[in-house]
Structure 1
Amino acid sequence: MNPYHIEGPGIPPMPKFKDRTTKWDIYIDEANFFGNVKGRYPNTYEWFDFFKLGKLVLDDLYEDLDPPHYDIQTVWMFGAMKPNEWGQWARTRDGHMRDLMREDTEGVNVFLGEYKPRNTTCPKCGHVWSDFVEKRTDSNFAVQLMMNGDTDHTDGVLVLGGDEDIIPAVYEAKNNLEKVIIGGVAQLRGVSAALQRLIRYTEISSDILDASSV
């Protein structure tokens, strides 16, 4: 039996807060998020102010709250340095991640996995080609969400990414950490249907990307 099998229709209701400022963290699956951006808007966006992007997404999620009562505390980014073969766009993203890892960058934590080479064989024709697979990103995501969620630091978590691999971490956080509310998955397209049934989902508009692009 799969303990993370999610049945039934979405959409979970938005969490309700009392009339106070709530504290939010943003968790970003860097490869999933930027792969989505590149696929939908090729050669358009290089990087984002994630504090601003997160606030605009929360405005979208909490559109009925006037005025909004939330403050973004920390950005958590999970990614890996790209293979040289991937070209300038990947190297530019790596440069921005390195900038975020500088000691004087406040409110941002970057956790790096790695890309490992692998050979893939076509089951039909037997053709073999080389590519890369990302390792440790999802486990880094899960560990940090569980370690940092159950504290007074955070009321809610906004996830930027729609990969189904994060479902176990999101499921456990939502059900076991009293002080964390998974507020929503924000992504451009291709968000796991099971993930949408588990937590609130909003699609990021091009207006939000334009306003937070750097």
Structure 2
Amino acid sequence: MGDKSNTETARVGVYVDGFNLYYGLKRLSGRRDLWLDLAAMARDLLRPGQRLELVTYFTTLVRGDPTSVERQRAYLAALKAHGADVVLGRFQEQLRRCRKCGATWRSYEEKKTDAAIASAMVADVALSAIDVVMLVSADSDLCAAVEKIREIDVLRGTKTRVVAAFPPGKSSDGQRRCSDAWFPIGAAVVRRSQFPDVVSGPGDAVYHRPPHWN
């Protein structure tokens, strides 16, 4: 098997690094564009002859401020209602020490998100679930997963197209080198892909755009 012919539809899997995208959106417009419909954005980014097969959003639940937690949960529910899958990592507590004064403090570091993205991309390619990987991230650590995809293609005689979609204001030289194509996600696409202020969910559930994100 080789590349998809011109008459076949290429199935696209979109893998979104949630924190990477979040900080890109914050850099773009503060909180204004955080109510982002990832499935709508993914469809906007497709090329002719491509079909959106899946959208998976990888993130970690925020800690501390209850209102921040509430906003994130509303957003995750809206994503699921519009067809995206959500995969959660976790924060790991770490004890840090100042080298100069010896003071210590506790901090939290996001764990497992990169590994989850890498595992999902490789697994979906290995299972022939997709023909194109679109990675929404500027994290060069994920190039290792792309190299694994290349190995799978060599063994099977296939060619999976890997495209890096950089969040606003972000880029990665490593991803440019390891991907077949790359592009920045522009402000116009982000603005076109916002959820309506009220998103309907299963049954009678509704999810409201947080006022804090206006």
Same fold (TM > 0.5): yes
Unaligned runs of 5+ in 2: 196-214
Structure 2 CA distance for aligned equivalents of residues 181 and 208 of structure 1: 22
Q: Identify which of 141, 144, 158 aligns with 2:134.
A: 158
Displacement, 1:91? 4.0
CA RMSD of aligned residues (A): 2.4
Structure 1 CA distance for aligned equivalents of residues 96 and 71 of structure 2: 27
The amino acid that maps onto 1:146 is V
Tell whether 2:123 aligns with 1:147. yes
Structure 1 CA distance for aligned equivalents of residues 97 and 27 of structure 2: 25
Query: What aligned pairs does 1:61-210 form with structure 2 within 5 A after superposition?
Result: 68-85=48-65, 88-89=67-68, 91-101=70-80, 105=81, 107-177=83-153, 178=158, 180-199=160-179, 200-210=181-191
**Contact 1:119–1:128 (CA<8 Å) still a contact in 2?**
yes
Percent pairwise identity: 20
Aligned length: 188
The residue aligned with 1:37 is 25
The amino acid that maps onto 2:40 is K
Displacement, 1:150? 2.4
Displacement, 1:94? 3.2
Unaligned runs of 5+ in 1: 1-14, 60-67
Taking structure 1 as reference, are residues 122 and 36 closer, same or farther at Cα in structure 2, changes over 3 Å only? farther
Structure 2 CA distance for aligned equivalents of residues 211 and 130 of structure 1: 40
**TM-score, normalization by structure 2:** 0.76
- Cα shift readout 1:168-212 (whole Å, capped 9, x = no counterpart): 112211342436321233322332211111112101111001000
**Contact 2:164–2:175 (CA<8 Å) still a contact in 1?**
no
Taking structure 1 as reference, are residues 17 and 28 closer, same or farther at Cα in structure 2, changes over 3 Å only? farther
- Cα shift readout 1:24-56 (whole Å, capped 9, x = no counterpart): 010011111112211332121122221221122
Q: Give the stretch that moved more between structures: 128-137 or 204-213.
A: 128-137
**TM-score, normalization by structure 1:** 0.76
What SS is found at the alignment partner of 1:117? strand
